[in-house]
């Protein structure tokens, strides 16, 4: 019997999309879910990883990098996005700078039952802030990351990339 491997989003795909879009810095909180991605980012000579201790710090760091002519990405989980609400409002939205937020969609399931409130509140949170988002679940969806960068640049607003399945395959 042949087993079919589930389609996943490989960390290498995300790195390729970052490089294609001129990303210079990834502002993030290192965690066990994204360990392989984190290590892979550290290996890229063109990319600086900026660790933070709280997700709310990410917007201010990204704004400073943007003001210095850099292209940052904020990489956080949906729970951290919600913790960052005031920073998103005050810095990312009010300052009017292009920012891609890559958000791990903790608790999301394609099966329709979503017992984790972090997942249930993620899209309503983004909608309440008027932040458009692109859902990325596997490598075939990878080009949506570039779509998010294009929209962020053209609107000078934050745009989110929701990573389904909590970075499946990002921790090897």
pLDDT band at 167 (very low <50, low <70, confident <90, very high): low
Residue 99 lies in a domain: yes
Question: What pLDDT is recorded for position 6?
Answer: 60
Residue 4 lies in a domain: no
Question: What pLDDT is recorded for position 156?
Answer: 96
Q: Token pair of 67, please? A: 């003001």
Question: What pLDDT is recorded for position 25?
Answer: 98
Give the residue among 10, 18, 55 at the shortest CA–CA distance from 37.
10
Domain carrying residue 36:
11-167
Rounded-to-integer distance, Cα 46 and Cα 63, Å: 19
**Total of domains in the chain:** 1
Q: What is the pLDDT of residues 96-113, one digit of tens each?
A: 999 999 999 988 887 777
With 60 as the cut, is the pLDDT of residue 1 above it? no
Question: What pLDDT is recorded for position 5?
Answer: 52
Residue 6 lies in a domain: no
Rounded-to-integer distance, Cα 108 and Cα 105, Å: 6
Question: What pLDDT is recorded for position 102?
Answer: 96
Q: How far is CA 71 from CA 61, 106, 107, 135, 151, in A?
A: 11, 26, 29, 21, 14
pLDDT band at 93 (very low <50, low <70, confident <90, very high): very high
Question: What pLDDT is recorded for position 26?
Answer: 98
Residue 172 lies in a domain: no
**CATH code for the domain in which residue 39 is found:** 3.40.50.970
Residue 5 lies in a domain: no
Q: What is the arithmetic mean of pLDDT over 129-148? A: 96
Residue 137 lies in a domain: yes
Q: What is the pLDDT of residues 17-45, one digit of tens each?
A: 999 999 999 999 988 778 889 999 999 99
Residue 145 lies in a domain: yes
Residue 146's φ and ψ, nearest 5 degrees, are -65, -35
Residue 76 lies in a domain: yes
Length of the chain: 172
């Amino acid at each position: 019997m042949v087993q079919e491997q589930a389609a996943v989003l490989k960390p290498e795909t995300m790195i390729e999309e970052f490089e294609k879009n001129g990303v210079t810095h990834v502002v993030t909180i290192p965690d066990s879910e994204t360990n392989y991605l984190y290590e892979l980012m550290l290996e890229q000579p063109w990319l600086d990883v900026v660790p933070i201790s709280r997700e709310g710090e990410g917007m201010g760091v990204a704004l400073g990098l943007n003001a210095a002519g850099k292209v940052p990405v904020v990489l956080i989980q949906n729970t951290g996005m919600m913790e960052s609400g005031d920073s998103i409002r005050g810095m990312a939205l009010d300052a009017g700078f292009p920012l891609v937020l890559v958000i791990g969609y903790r608790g999301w399931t394609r099966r329709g039952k979503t017992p984790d409130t972090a997942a249930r509140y993620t899209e309503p949170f983004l909608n309440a802030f008027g932040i458009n988002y692109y859902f990325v679940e596997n490598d075939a969806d990878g080009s949506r990351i570039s779509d998010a960068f294009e929209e962020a640049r053209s609107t000078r607003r934050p745009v989110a990339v929701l990573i389904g399945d909590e970075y499946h395959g990002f921790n090897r």
